[in-house]
């Protein structure tokens, strides 16, 4: 599969179905494509929109991880409930 075909296949996947690692990897590729230039304005806009969606998805994953860590810390820090 060519790189363009692989990129097109990756872009067709719904962002909400991606793991954090997959979304981050795709975001890096989008940024690289935008920085390299050589694509039409329409393609640049599509890449930008995809990048924004990927960045938002990554942020949601990270926020969820922060909340889980905070909850775990809170649970570890709270005194044990008295035994009856």
Taking only the tens place, the pLDDT of each residue in 14-71 is 999 999 999 999 999 999 999 999 999 999 999 999 999 999 999 999 999 999 999 9
Instruction: With a cut of 90, say whether residue 75 has pLDDT above it.
Output: no
| More confident: 45 or 13 | 45
Question: Under a CB-based contact definition with an 8 Å cutoff, are residues 18 and 53 in contact?
Answer: no
Question: In the structure encoding, which two tokens stand for residue 79, read together?
Answer: 């005194």
Q: What is the dihedral of CA 45, 20, 11, 26, to 10 degrees?
A: 70
Residue 78 within any structural domain of the chain:
no
29 in a structural domain: yes
Query: Is there a domain that residue 8 lies in?
Result: no
Task: Give a yes or no: residue 74 inside a domain.
Answer: no
Within-domain flag for 36: yes
Q: What are phi and psi of 75, to 5 degrees?
A: -65, -40
Beta strands in 1-84 (DSSP E): none
Q: Does 2 map to a domain?
A: no
Decide if 49 is inside a domain: yes
- Which pair of structure tokens corresponds to residue 30? 């989008």
Domain count, the chain: 1
11 occurs within a structural domain:
no
- Residue-range definition of the domain harbouring residue 53: 18-65
Q: Is 0.75 topped by the overall pTM? A: no
């Amino acid at each position: 599969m060519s790189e363009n075909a692989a990129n097109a296949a990756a872009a067709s996947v719904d962002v909400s179905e991606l793991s954090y690692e997959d979304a981050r990897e795709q975001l890096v590729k989008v940024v690289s494509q935008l920085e390299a230039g050589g694509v039409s304005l329409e393609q640049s806009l599509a890449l930008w929109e995809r990048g924004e969606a990927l960045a938002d998805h990554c942020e949601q994953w990270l926020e969820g991880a922060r909340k889980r860590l905070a909850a775990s810390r809170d649970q570890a820090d709270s005194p044990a409930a008295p035994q009856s």
